Amino acid sequence: MSGLNSIGLGLVGDIGGTNARFALVDFDGGDPKLIEPTSYKGEDYGQAEDAVEAYLDKMGVRHPDLAVVAVAGPIEHGAVQFTNSDWKLSEDSLRRAGGFRSARLINDFTAQALAAPRLAPKDLRQIGPHQTSGEGDLAIIGPGTGFGAAGMVRRHGVETPLTTEGGHIAFAPFDEIEIEILRILMQRFGRCSIERILSGPGMEDLHMALAEVEGRQTEELTAKQITEHGVAGDACCKVTIDRFCAILGSAAGDLAMALGARGGVFIAGGIAPRIIDLLEEGQFRERFESKGRLSDYTRAIPTHVVMNPHTALIGAAVAMTPDGKAAIS
């Protein structure tokens, strides 16, 4: 790859609270294609720019033309303070680090929204009854290091992503157990958002809170351990994952109604693919549909888990095209 000409090349990135993913894009052709997607652990680098430079060094590329990087957090004046890490990044510092002619930051779930309509069936796994996605608007949500949420408005063949901070809306308990979970988390954090439960750190807090509600002892585990043990059949961890999936279903249904996402809901992020069988077997879809007088509304909406780990890179590549730039300008 060291002989690759930088003319007609761009860099796309997806930087979250845990991982930083990058790829090159040849945007001279009609449909942008990812070249050598590579993932790095954020903890291995002092700042985001170091990870960008490491990827360009690996690829042997100097001064690509453009960069579009999807980032986890609200972007203000061309800069982001990452929600779930100490990193900061600006379009100016990104441009200097890679020697780009121009560089843009977009929200990571804006990128997910741009990718969602372009995903192939192999990239998705439908949860619930088989339904064909219509032409309506979309919702894209995702539990990972945090909880992201975005919409995609589709009108007369024009797609416009809607950037939101929907992961920070308040958690709404569904039953007595969840009311007790809310009490416990409010004592610890004050206000309790969806992200306080539907994220990696949130799963860890949910695990301990459930044990307290049920009056049993349990050891503190990481989200990775909880998912691995639960999928392997550990009863205590499976209780946590089952409750996580149920709450995710409620939140997904609420956001589908709030965004008018009659065309479908896409669940991105790193957690859902790892618990996909339990998500399908559990109460996710039942809770998604359980909306009282609006149950018929949510019952007609298809829900999909995004299995492709590079969808934010695909969305960043879409943003690099003239149509993508127009959609999110």
Instruction: Tell me the per-residue pLDDT of 277-298, one tens digit each, with 9 for 90 and over.
Output: 999 999 999 999 999 999 999 9
For residue 284 the two structure tokens come to: 């996710």
Listing from the earlier edge strand, what are the strands of the sheet with 264-267? 124-127, 303-306, 264-267, 138-143, 147-155, 158-163
If you average pLDDT over residues 242-267, what whole number do you get? 97
Write out the E strands in 27-173: 33-41, 66-71, 75-76, 79-81, 88-90, 102-107, 124-127, 138-143, 147-155, 158-163
**C-alpha dihedral sign at 295, 297, 301, 305:** negative
What pLDDT is recorded for position 256?
Answer: 97
Residue span(s) of the chain under CATH 3.30.420.40 come to 9-114+310-328
Our CA angle for 173, 178, 183, nearest 5°, is 95
CATH class, domain 9-114+310-328, is alpha beta
Choice among 156-165, 220-229, 232-241, 277-286 with the minimum mean pLDDT: 156-165
Residue span(s) of the chain under CATH 3.40.367.20 come to 121-306
CATH, domain range 121-306: 3.40.367.20
What pLDDT is recorded for position 218?
Answer: 86
Q: Give the model's confidence band at 323: pLDDT under 50 very low, under 70 low, under 90 confident, else very high.
A: low
